[in-house]
Amino acid sequence: MQDLVSICDGTLRATLSYPRYAPFIKTLATTYEDSLPEVGNTLRSSFFLYQSELQLSTSLRLPNLREISVSTSGALLVRWLMELAPPSLEKLNFEMIWRGLRDRTGDRNDSLEYLSQFLRGLPRRTPALKVLSLDIPDGILGFLQTHLSNIVRGLPLLEDVDLRFPIPAEALPVMEGWTSLSRLKLRVFSPEGPCEDISAVTASLPALQSLSVSGSTMILSLILQNGHFPSLRALDFPRITLDDHLDRLNELLVIVAERFPRLHNVQLQAPPAQAAWSPTAIILDPLHSLLDLRHFSLKCEPVHYGYCSAQLNDKHIRQLSRAWTRLESLDLRTRTTDFRRGNVCSQRPSFSLRGLLPLAQSCQHLRQLFIGVDLTLSHSEYEASALTLESFELECISIPPRTQAERERAYKLISVMWPNVRMSTEGEMDDRCDPELKRFCAAFNSLWAKER
């Protein structure tokens, strides 16, 4: 018998009553919607619909369980997990959706009490855990004060940690016990008292290769300036809040370039500028010293009202093409205003199709490109080509060619620069982009598929 268990909600109670299935279950996943794909080694369920009805026997054991992914708002599943998690567990993804001190029936909600017990017993029950992802109501639970040091001491083998709730900067030194930690994702808020107390934000994680951290520009600068991450190769800022103005963000980028010259991957979600005319804009020049960079992503935070903090144009494409010759993927989304089909977007792309020529010339390893382009401008003849680019995705502010002559020139130039590319639009799946832009991409793919 193969290690394959796929159970629908209607048969969950009956199936779990047969212990013979237990040894073959490797993954337990619960979601709010029955949307998980049919995959092997997976037990599927929407537990939240049945928490008031299911009386799962705690005598059930899943001895070969490797992964648990749980999203719940009730106490029943948490209580069951306290007994279910086996020593063989390697990956835990847990989300507690807090519904308040009372459940739907008006009775006391004991979820947090059981969650606290579960976290206290986690190191003892799952000593082999390598991947931990938590999204819990920390404001009530007090994760840092109550559980973090215990988890760090009791789970020394953790390699991947994702804490999807705000934690104070004082938590970072506690994490130094994770000597095998290679991936860390967290949201940090400033410690109480002045940020000049740099001892509160120092940490040494020698095995860390990938760091994803959100917070204010000041606290992020302190973390990177004083942290010891000699193996770091990937750095992601999913959300940055400005302490005052964009100069602080530019100072952060200088620290990144000086402290981590061997980065391969940099991702940046830029906050919008506070005014249409800003005394400063995002300056990428310091990052040009990252000669080993393979992946770069800059996205302006989408808002209904705001101004673009990344004032980039063809000149910047030339500069980064010369600096990042090993680039494999480039994502530049400089639109700040939230675009919806049928609404006028006042922003125009600042890049021309002709301006992308340096990418084809210098970045011979480029495979994926996401950018907003004006396809209507006149184009130069170009003979050299790069065979590696596979995906060319156009931001919705891109301007499609309006005449047949413009379309033919665009087709030719793109196909010469990147003969093996497939074009698409940002809104290909949700139909947000200009239909004319979508038709341009479809026609290009169809036309040049015949030529290949």
Query: Residue 8 pLDDT more than 80?
Result: no
Which CATH architecture is the domain 160-305 placed in? Alpha-Beta Horseshoe (3.80)
Model pLDDT for residues 229-276, shown as the tens digit of each residue: 999 999 999 998 887 677 888 999 999 999 999 999 999 998 876 544
Closest CA to 386 of 369, 406, 403: 369
Cα gap 289→7, rounded to integer Å: 52
Reduced to 3 states, what is the DSSP secondary structure of residue 188? strand
Model pLDDT for residues 127-163, shown as the tens digit of each residue: 999 999 998 876 555 677 778 889 999 999 999 999 9
Reduced to 3 states, what is the DSSP secondary structure of residue 29? strand
Task: Indicate where the chain has its CATH 3.80.10 domain(s).
Answer: 160-305
Cβ pair 167, 138 in contact under 8 A:
yes
Token pair listed for 425: 């639009």
Cα gap 77→372, rounded to integer Å: 46
Q: H or E element: which one contains 12? A: helix 12-16
Confidence of residue 69 (pLDDT cuts 50, 70, 90): confident
Q: What is the CA radius of gyration of the chain?
A: 25
Q: Encode 162-198: b = buried (16+ Cβ within 10 Å), e = exposed.
A: ebeeebbbbbbebbebbeebbbbbbebebbeeebeee
Model pLDDT for residues 86-115, shown as the tens digit of each residue: 888 999 998 877 665 455 555 555 677 778
Query: Residue 408 pLDDT more than 70?
Result: yes
Q: Residue 42 pairs with which residues in a beta bridge?
A: 27
Note the pLDDT of residue 99.
62
Note the pLDDT of residue 90.
94
Q: What are phi and psi of 102, to 5 degrees?
A: -125, 145
Confidence of residue 6 (pLDDT cuts 50, 70, 90): very low
Reduced to 3 states, what is the DSSP secondary structure of residue 269? strand
| The dihedral formed by the CA atoms of 438, 440, 446 and 452, expressed in degrees to the nearest 10 | -130
Cα gap 374→389, rounded to integer Å: 19
